[in-house]
Amino acid sequence: MAEEEAKKRRFAVLTGGGDCPGLNAVIRAVVKTFLQNGCEVYGVPNGFNGLVNGTLQKMDHGSVSGILPRGGTVLGTTNRDNPFKFAVETEGQIVYKDMRQQVVDNLNKYDIEALVVIGGDGSLNIGAKLARECGVKVVGCPKTIDNDLPCTERTFGFDTAMSMATEALDRLHTTAESHHRVMALEVMGRYAGWIALHSGIAGGADIILLPEIPYKLDSVLAKIKERQANGKNFSIIVVAEGAKPVGGEMSVARLVKGSFEPIRLGGIGEKLVRKIEERTGIESRCTVLGYLQRGGTPSAFDRVLATRYGVAAAEACLRGEYNVMVSLYHDEIVTVYIQRAASEARRVPVDSEIIRTGRQIGICFGD
């Protein structure tokens, strides 16, 4: 009886999908909060892979010491291992198997009460499905540099990515101005233009091209010419990887087999600058910022937000509030039903105040 009473509640935490600045800050906050409240906590290595393979590791204060400013995730991550469609090699062939029972068995084996899933839409969808179809108790935490999750005003990682893109724009300005060139910066964001929009405004871009507003090449050229007529012999463009011309398609860079979301966008920036150079004769170049947006230390804002999310996720577990995602709403951390949070991507509303702000200061959105 005394032994039973002394039994500690046990929780697990995993990071899934692409990495993102602030993941370690969340892990640290989750682990500290559980330990502080007399619970045990296990880390799941490499996203849902570790859950299928049952390779959970007990965590203590030492496991999270010094990780707050570190980029990446100490737990490892992957965007390939979906337990409902898990790649298994049989006789030299890859076959996809439903491993949900193995996940449930592993959680039971470690006596895990609930799982904190730190992820974007792919991982949160898997978490929601585990909750719905397998009875796993899940609390989600909204991660992505893309800022495209519904039901939260901000995902952690976005601020850092936006700041990196802004710094890149500051640097591109000086070289563009010296060489009288058109410089395009292609940024990430998948089907949403949040990184392009915010960094474009912060970095003083002349033209911002978003997935939400298909662009006309003629409008882009008109803006460059207007600047020339005003004595500005250079122009700065921010182009989201998901931007597309009116009537055209998004530019697909590659297909990743076995990934939650196999399409990888990219390449639109180079296509655009070639057309600009052809039509205007102005030397034009493209820089693809790529993974620099995701790597490295999180900004102070992201460290704070990630810590608030981590504490709130652990607190939800402690009070037994499951199948929710922690979310930012009017600067308060609240919880929302995870299934809603894992629904369609949140895109930039084309009639929003921030787009109007851009237009009022003369930014061309290509329409």
Residue 211 or residue 310: which is nearer to ligand F6P going by CB?
Answer: 211
**Measured from the CB of residue 152, what is the shortest distance to ligand F6P in angstroms?**
15
Binding-site member from 188, 205, 243, 282 for ligand F6P (CB under 6 A): 188
Quick one: 200 or 224, whose CB is closer to ligand F6P? 200
> Does residue 316 bind ligand F6P (CB under 6 A)?
no
306 lies in the binding site for ligand F6P (CB under 6 A): no
Annotated catalytic residue, options 146, 148, 159, 302: 146
Give the nearer residue to ligand F6P in terms of CB position, either 176 or 306. Answer: 306
Residue number, 188 or 306, with CB nearest to ligand F6P: 188
40, 81, 146, 270: residue in contact with ligand F6P (rule CB under 6 A): 146
93 contacts: CB under 8 Å, gap ≥ 6:
none
Q: Candidates 26-34, 41-49, 138-146, 337-345 — which segment interacts with ligand F6P by CB under 6 A?
A: 138-146
Asked whether position 189 contacts ligand F6P by CB under 6 A, the answer is: yes
Nearest to 241 by CA among 171, 207, 275, 288: 288
Task: Give me the least distance between CB of 145 and ligand F6P, in Å please.
Answer: 5
Pairwise CA distance, residues 290 & 257, whole Å: 20
* Residues 192-251 interacting with ligand F6P (rule: CB under 6 A): 241
Q: Name which of 20 and 30 has its Cβ closer to ligand F6P.
A: 20
Q: Which two tokens mark 239?
A: 């182009």
According to the binding rule CB under 6 A, does residue 324 interact with ligand F6P?
no
Q: Which is nearer to ligand F6P, 206 or 241 (CB)?
A: 241
Among 24, 46, 77, 79, binds ligand F6P (CB under 6 A): 79
80 sits near ligand F6P (criterion: CB under 6 A): no
Q: Is 264 in the site for ligand F6P (CB under 6 A)?
A: yes
* Residue 146 designated active-site: yes
Nearest-5° Cα angle at 241, 367 to 161 = 110
Q: Count the neighbouring beta carbons within 10 Å of the beta carbon of residue 349.
A: 10
**Applying CB under 6 A, does 270 fall inside the site for ligand F6P?**
no
Active site residues: 146
Q: Which residues bind ligand F6P (CB under 6 A)?
A: 18, 79, 120, 144-146, 188-190, 241, 256, 264-265, 294
